[in-house]
Amino acid sequence: MSMLHALLLGLIQGLTEFLPVSSSGHLAIAQHYLPGFRQPGVLFDVLLHLATLLAVVLYFRADIAKLALAPFRTGTEAILYRRLLGLLILGSVPTAIIGLTFKDFFTAMFERVAVVAAMLLVTGVLLFLSERLRRDGRTAEQLTRSDALLVGIAQGCAVMPGISRSGATIATLLIKGVEGETAARFSFLLALPAVSGAALLSLKDVSRVAPAEIPAYLLGMAAAFGIGLLSIHLLLGVIRRRRLAGFAVYCWLVGGFFLLTAL
């Protein structure tokens, strides 16, 4: 893998991981058309996701610290964060079941541009529906177990390249009447165990990386981390202004173009 390829893919990952347009779909399409691109399994993709995960940890460090300390504290805030922690754990269960059960099936789809493009069209539909059916109102204190389970299922299905993880999870909560920023924050926090688990499963491929390619891997991760921080801030602003429909149109245009190209 060249430094240029790594930098390009890192920028794509950082920009599209949090914007609801499917980073995995964009990576799969870009890698398909990059001449000579190779990686062990999907290791590079997972490392790029790990880099954007670190961006989430930095951006939401205050929330994460409160979640970690909540079991050992008392008070109203600690009760809220203990409840939120329980919902995040509950939501991670269906994600883990779907991801582990269909891992090989979904991984094989990264090579099929037509499938990836078709799933981008599906992501567009989800975003469009979320704007049309959105019923703002419920806050973090009012999240339910059914919210957590449905979002966990949506996140598990987003292992399929072309289905946006942030788009699917945020859209699910918006349709269920959760306030926009609460939906986004829960989505980002729910990604932490899912992406960490995927990274652990891919560590077996690290030994297959040639030493000469390590700088390229690190460059791609650094780019994904830096741009990812900016993308989180951008998405939160977009959700406050209720403009997800624009991303739906984008997914339809990109998905339609590459579907026609692949066919």
State which residues of the chain have pLDDT below 50: none
What pLDDT was estimated at residue 38? Answer: 74
SS3 for 241? coil
In whole angstroms, how far apart are CA 248 and each of 11, 122, 125, 227? 21, 9, 7, 21
The 3 state secondary structure assigned to 63-88 is HHHHHHHHHHCCCHHHHHHHHHHHHH
What pLDDT was estimated at residue 212? Answer: 76
- CB-CB contact of 107 with 202 (8 Å): no
137: left (phi over 0), alpha (psi -120 to 50) or beta: left
How far apart are alpha carbons 168 and 202 in whole angstroms?
A: 24
Buried-state track 174-203, b at ≥16 Cβ within 10 A, e below 16: bbbebbbebbbbbbbbbbbbbbeebeeebe
Kindly state the tokens that stand for 85.
């922690």
What pLDDT was estimated at residue 147? Answer: 94
Kindly state the tokens that stand for 111.
């090579």
Could you give the residue ranges of the DSSP H alpha helices within the chain? 3-16, 23-33, 43-59, 61-69, 76-101, 103-108, 113-133, 145-157, 165-175, 180-202, 214-240, 245-262
**What is the sign, positive or negative, of the torsion defined by CA atoms of 102, 19, 41, 53?**
negative
pTM for this prediction = 0.83
